[in-house]
Structure 1
Amino acid sequence: MKKLGTLFIVTVLLALGACNSSGSKERFLPPSTGGINSLMVVMDTELWRGPVGEKIREEFAAQIVGLPQIEPKFSLTQIPPKVFKGTTTHSRSLLYVEQDSTSLAHIKNDAYSKPQKVAVVTGPTEEVLIKNLDSLADRAIKEFKANEIAEAQKRFERSLSKDKALEEEFGIQLNVPSLYKVGRRENKFVWMDIQIPKGTMNIIAYEMPWDYFNNDSTFVEDIVRMRDSIGKSFIPGPYENTYMITEKAFAPYVFPAEIGGKKAAEVKGVWEIHGYPMAGPFLTYIINDKENNRKMIIEGFTFAPSEAKRDYMFELEAILKTIKFDSDLPKG
């Protein structure tokens, strides 16, 4: 087992060193493979079944906040080191864990394919492996996710919408796949959606006054008040006097963020229809657009009853994160 771990580490370091020592010659790397939000875990099966594997599942398959049902951050596939060869080495996101005399916890880029993130964790005992996993998990998850966002964006950039509604209404640009269509546009409000097998994926945009959120102690309540007001005015339910609101049972989650080069708040939660049994997840960005003296709001939400929603929401997040402001773009 120790030889396998050392061999893997040496192979990765030699492969990466080849890039640096070849001068202007760039080493050929095949394109990486794998489904969005999938993670290949290379480790001994006995370790996978024990406390080390449990630690990996606890960190990398943890429940995503803001979804109405339990869904993992990544879909994990475990293989033993002896079958880690050929196309299995081309996985876009790799976690290699090996019990070895060397203690390591680091991340390498493009070791076998491109783009690729390889997190390597080794240690002489299970206790050290768990400790190293704990020290690396947050960073690895962040880098894996950023790599997945970039891959999702690359996939839908092949065919983008040419609709100018967002630019004309708000002076913003989003890379929205061409299958999304504008269904409503009025009074500084734009709603785009796409049909999916059992529902819809939606993007909305609107703006609020710069000083709309002027009290940190009521920030979450103000977000709910804002979303409920917009829902009542622009997002009707299936029957009269029904409309979208923020789920009453649980407050949304709020995180600091940066998007489009500006500070923002990221809001995750569940929407529901007032007066009718419909619900689903939403992701909202409240962006500090000081140049235009406003809060720019962009949101994605999904309606897909009885379906997994992680990857739908991930696509919406990837779209929203392409935002650019005309005021920030070079003139001429």
Structure 2
Amino acid sequence: MWNFNKQNRTMKRKLEYRWMLWCGIWAVVTFLAACDHLAKPSSSGRPYEVLVVVGDSLWQCPAGRALFDVLDTDIPGLPQPERSFRISQTDPQRFNQVLNIFRNIIKVDIAPNQYTQTKMKFTRDVYARPQVVLTIQSPNEKDFAAFVQKNAQSIIDFLVKMEMNRQINELEKKHSEVVSYLADSIFSCQFWAPVEIKSYKKGKDFFWASSNTASGLVNICMYSYPYEGPRTFNKQYVLAKRDSVMKANIPGTEPRMYMATDTLCTSVKPIAVKGEYAMETRGLWKMEHDAMGGPFVSHSRVDTLNNRVVVAEGFVYAPEKMKRGLIRRLEAALYTLCLPGEQARELKASIPEVSVVAGKEQE
């Protein structure tokens, strides 16, 4: 009996030691992870700024010009030309601790003896947080230029969606309580919009909320109408619904003035939001019989629980300002819309598929 108890106590001590060892390992791993997080500085640069790390001479060659032309592409749906990104360039020899904390970095790696094909890959938070580093590897300049030109839209979409996801994270922490209340009370939806949007007007199955500022006016509106099958999602139908809703709810300073769509400068295309079909409408609005106007972007989505189309739209009035940052911030907000039955955890602007942006994410 004595030997049995002694063996039992010995086994118990071994189990306690093993448990203490695992707790110690877990504590060390957690501590190191926390130190790694704290050790990395906050990324620098404004939204939609990109630093290209490429040799000075290569930057001036056709390969470098091909990448520059992609990043320098104008944003669609704005009343004046505005390029997609603010572009900076540095030679790899000057890429130091001051520059490597840029929020968006593109590294150009052309090595004939190292690569047999051109591909892209991306990594997150390499030198700072939050940060994305997109690396384009190629065996030669000719293949590099051809690859960049072929995948131009994928490169633009990738960087834009990364920025929008950062803005969505910011909206989650701080957003307009007015818009959230209106979206919930009228449509039973969750919706996060920029915090400065506080003034509002309600209508039937409609609300319009605005920052009501003297300059850089940003606006969010939501409305709904019955879903009538596939014909609900064509350009003519979508724009006709928009015009009827805006005419009834957003009048001008005089009775003959009302908001309308500049149909010649507006485009629609199907997109995926939370894995479901949606229609993106992007273009220009105008105030009939007035000089006001500006860009807008909207998402039209099917609320299957209530058999209706819910439209969330952001539009800008800022004649004295560049509008890239304003409209893209509102566009990011559109991705936060959660229809009845959807989960908030699914928020995020969809990133292009890995099969398009070649190469898997490197952790």
Identity over aligned pairs, percent: 26
Change in 2 beyond 3 A, CA 1:215/1:302: closer
Which residue does 1:285 correspond to in 2?
A: 299
Structure 2 SS opposite 1:247: strand
- State the 1:213 CA deviation: 5.9
- Give 2:277's aligned amino acid: K
RMSD: 2.3
Q: 2:287 & 2:107 partners in 1: Cα distance?
A: 45
Which residue does 1:238 correspond to in 2?
A: 253
Which residue does 2:266 correspond to in 1?
A: 252
Structure 2 SS opposite 1:223: helix
Q: 1:136 & 1:43 partners in 2: Cα distance?
A: 19
- Give 2:176's aligned amino acid: S
Q: 1:247 & 1:59 partners in 2: Cα distance?
A: 27
Q: 1:125 & 1:260 partners in 2: Cα distance?
A: 38
Partner deviation per Cα, 1:114-159 (whole Å, 9 max, x = no partner): 3322122243432122134245544433332222012222334443
Which residue does 2:12 correspond to in 1?
A: none
Q: 1:198 & 1:160 partners in 2: Cα distance?
A: 20
Where does the alignment leave 5 or more consecutive residues of structure 2 unmatched? Answer: 1-27, 345-363
- 2:53, 2:92 within 8 Å by CA — same for their partners in 1? yes
Runs of 4+ in 1 over 4 A off after TM superposition: 22-25
- State the 1:88 CA deviation: 1.1
Matched, 1:214 2:225: no
Q: 1:151 & 1:326 partners in 2: Cα distance?
A: 24
Change in 2 beyond 3 A, CA 1:252/1:220: same
Which residue does 2:279 correspond to in 1?
A: 265
Q: 1:202 & 1:297 partners in 2: Cα distance?
A: 14
- 1:175, 1:319 within 8 Å by CA — same for their partners in 2? yes
Matched, 1:107 2:121: yes
- 1:213, 1:222 within 8 Å by CA — same for their partners in 2? no
Where does the alignment leave 5 or more consecutive residues of structure 1 unmatched? Answer: 1-21
Structure 2 SS opposite 1:295: strand
Which residue does 1:188 correspond to in 2?
A: 205
Matches within 5 A, 1:2-151: 25-26=32-33, 27-28=36-37, 29-101=40-112, 102-103=114-115, 104-110=118-124, 111-134=126-149, 136-151=151-166
Change in 2 beyond 3 A, CA 1:77/1:303: same
- Give 2:326's aligned amino acid: Y
Match of 1:173 among 190, 194, 201: 190
- 1:206, 1:296 within 8 Å by CA — same for their partners in 2? yes
**Number of equivalent positions:** 306
Pick the structure with more strand per residue.
Answer: 1
Change in 2 beyond 3 A, CA 1:238/1:46: farther
Change in 2 beyond 3 A, CA 1:197/1:49: farther
When normalised by structure 2's length, the TM-score is 0.78
Q: Which has the larger radius of gyration?
A: 2
- State the 1:290 CA deviation: 1.4
Comparing 319-328 with 68-77, greater Cα deviation is found at 319-328
- Give 2:86's aligned amino acid: S
Q: 1:86 & 1:266 partners in 2: Cα distance?
A: 40
- State the 1:161 CA deviation: 2.4
Q: 2:225 & 2:194 partners in 1: Cα distance?
A: 26
- Give 1:40's aligned amino acid: L
- 1:62, 1:73 within 8 Å by CA — same for their partners in 2? yes
Q: 2:165 & 2:74 partners in 1: Cα distance?
A: 22
Change in 2 beyond 3 A, CA 1:23/1:144: farther
